[in-house]
Amino acid sequence: MTDFEALRTAVIKGKRNDVTAIVQAAIDAGEDVNTLLDQGMIPAMREIGDRFSRNEAYVPELLIAARAMQAGLALIEPLIASSGREPFGKIAIGTVKGDLHDIGKNLVTIMLKGAGYEVIDLGVNCDVTKYEQAVRDGAQIVACSSLLTTTMPYMKEVVAYFKDKGAKVIIGGAPVTQAYADEIGADGYSEDANGAVKLVDSLLKRAC
């Protein structure tokens, strides 16, 4: 039985080895990986963010928590990965220009791959030219992630750039909302990684 409290504490305190040990033990015991994410790792990142807001944690603490989270995700990714069948479509994903947050983007990537899509991961700090190259390489959908209210407006530029260019642009990230997506004319918005998969499913079905 997984000790979710211990997992949350290990992520919050940035104890990478503890996170790895707890996640590996949970996987070995047959724990559902979505439960590990939803009850352990994602709420822990939310908690460290809240502490940061209250000036109870600082950037170094955020960084070590992020590294511990990534170590856990690395164990989860192969379990969600696709079974080698023909990909259903090609998606490009990147965190927008000026923004270095990549954990949520990585999670969306893992879920899309697990759902059978080929994903071009453009990393962080992506400007329009990076997304454009991915579209030239065959991406049908461009997914933009933003975690900062200061970088969110760049999504508007990406959406405007791809208007009438054939690729659809979808957006997400903690400060992003459906209302914002509607306002800038994005082709879709999702609140979380599973929602991103459903959104891509529906957009590609419509395009067929």
Interface with ligand B1M (CB under 6 A)? 42, 45-46, 48-49, 52-53, 59, 62-63, 66, 98-105, 107-108, 143, 145, 147-149, 170-175, 190, 192-193, 196
Q: First-to-last CA distance in the chain?
A: 44
Q: Which is nearer to ligand B1M, 18 or 154 (CB)?
A: 154
Q: How far is the CB of 125 from ligand B1M (least distance, A)?
A: 8
- Nearest in space to 145 (alpha carbons), one of 167, 175, 117: 175
Compute the least distance from the CB of residue 29 to ligand B1M, in Å.
23
Minimum CB–partner distance for residue 101 and ligand B1M (Å)? 4
Nearer to ligand B1M, 84 or 196 (CB): 196
Closer residue to ligand B1M, CB minimum distance, 26 or 200: 200
Distance CA 8, CA 39 (A): 8
CB of 196 to ligand B1M, least distance (A): 4
Supply the minimum distance, in Å, between the C-beta of residue 85 and ligand B1M: 23
Residues in the chain: 208
Phi, psi of 13 (to 5 degrees): -85, 0
Contact 183, 160 (CB under 8 A): no
Question: How many other CB atoms are found less than 10 A from the CB of residue 158?
Answer: 25
Closer residue to ligand B1M, CB minimum distance, 84 or 180? 180
Torsion of CA 122, 67, 80, 110, to 10 degrees: -20
Q: Cβ(131)–Cβ(158) under 8 Å?
A: yes
Residue with tokens 């040990």: 21
Shortest Cβ distance from residue 75 to ligand B1M (Å)?
15
Structure tokens given for 64: 């070590």
Decide whether 46 or 165 has the Cβ nearer to ligand B1M: 46
Closer CB to ligand B1M, residue 26 or residue 171?
Answer: 171
